[in-house]
């Protein structure tokens, strides 16, 4: 499942950061590391950007960026 597919209030575990080069490095530096939990806080009215909580801080990603991140919902883990 892709991070961009989640809705407000959903929580998930990061599985993989796709992409390469500068984008991948930036995502890893921001804390998008396998096994970390992420929560969707708010989708913008036009669905771009999307606000997330990761490691105690909030950040926004464009939908195309969020699509590059593979996640597993907590419901599917249990």
Q: Dump the DSSP string for 38-68.
A: EEEEEE-TTS-SEEEEETTEEEEE-HHHHTT
pLDDT value of position 13: 96
Q: How far is CA 39 from CA 10, 54, 68, in A?
A: 6, 7, 16
How far apart (Å, rounded) are the C-alpha atoms in residues 30 and 41? 17
pLDDT reported for residue 6: 93
pLDDT digits (tens, 9 = 90+) for 13-68: 999 999 889 999 999 999 999 999 999 999 888 878 999 999 999 999 999 999 99
d(CA 15, CA 53): 16
Has residue 76 got a pLDDT over 70? Answer: no
Confidence class of residue 78 from pLDDT cuts 50, 70 and 90?
low
SS3 36: coil
């Amino acid at each position: 499942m892709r991070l961009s597919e989640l809705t407000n209030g959903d929580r998930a575990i990061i599985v993989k950061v796709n992409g390469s080069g500068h984008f991948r490095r930036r995502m890893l530096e921001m804390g998008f590391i396998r096994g970390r939990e992420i929560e969707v806080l708010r989708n913008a009215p036009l669905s771009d950007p999307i606000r997330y909580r990761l490691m105690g801080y909030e950040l926004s990603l464009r939908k195309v960026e969020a699509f590059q991140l593979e996640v597993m919902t907590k419901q599917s883990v249990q």
